[in-house]
Amino acid sequence: MSTVKLTVNGKAVAVDVEDRTLLVHLLRDHLNLTGTHVGCDTSQCGACVVHMDGKAVKSCTMLAGQADGASVTTIEGIAKGDELHPMQAAFRDNHGLQCGYCTPGMIMSAIDIVHRHGDQLDETTVRHELEGNICRCTGYHNIVKAVLDAAGRMKVSQAAE
């Protein structure tokens, strides 16, 4: 057992876990943040994507101990109170989710994509960059539309801040 200290969604936490615990299990089983999903468990589907120190990583392919000292943001941490994050709002408005299982990972990856590409984002880039996230409803068309829509909204909301 080890004590892992990290910041999750802005709050400092210290969690006692077995050394073999994956970051996704620390989040889900110890902090009850079940928005982050385990889909494939083989690092391919992206349902477990969270941000660690601002970068989108697969939390099923990290030991909790590797996140010691890091700042982690999950799907539960991106809205401002009742106001959805622009990416969440764009997913809702564009029907970017069907069963919803892949959605948290899609949204966390998509925010990272917009952060990296900003104004340069086009449909081809979104499709290429989302290749680490699998939607088994195959609802990619509206997901891509949502990401492009959100890229514009995130620019507006950043400018307003």
Partner 1 sequence: MYQTTYHRASSVDEAVSLFGKSSEAKFLAGGQTLLPVMKQRLASPSDVIDLGKIKELQGVELSGDVLTIKAGTIYYDIMQNADVKKAIPAIAYLTSVLGDPAVRYRGTIGGSIANNDPAADFPAALLALGATVKTNKRSITADDFFKGLFTTALEDGEIITAVSFPVPAKAGYEKMRHPASRFALTGVFVAKTKSGEVRVAATGASQSGVMRVPAIEAALKANWSPAAIDGVSISASNLLADIHGTAEYRANLIKVMAQRAVTAAG
Residues 59-98 that bind partner 1 (CB under 8 A): 60-63, 65-66, 68
Give Cβ neighbours of residue 4 (< 8 Å, ≥ 6 apart): 14, 15, 16, 17, 26, 64, 65, 67, 68
What 3-state DSSP class applies to 37? coil
Q: Which stretch binds partner 1 (CB under 8 A): 5-13, 75-83, 91-99, 105-113?
A: 105-113
Q: Which stretch binds partner 1 (CB under 8 A): 14-22, 27-35, 86-94, 136-144?
A: 14-22
Residue 107 or 134: which CB sits closer to partner 1? Answer: 134
The answer to whether 12 touches 5, Cβ cutoff 8 Å, is yes
Distance from chain centroid for Cα 72: 10
Residue 48 or 97: which CB sits closer to partner 1? Answer: 48
Q: How far apart are CA 112 and CA 50, in angstroms?
A: 10
Binding-residue total with partner 1 (CB under 8 A) = 30
Q: What are phi and psi of 105, to 5 degrees?
A: -65, -40
Least CB distance to partner 1 at residue 24 (A): 11
Q: Is 49 in the site for partner 1 (CB under 8 A)?
A: yes
Give me the residue label for tokens 């982690």: 72
What is the contact surface with partner 1 in residues (CB under 8 A)?
2, 18-20, 22, 41-44, 46, 49, 55-58, 60-63, 65-66, 68, 109, 112-113, 129, 131-134
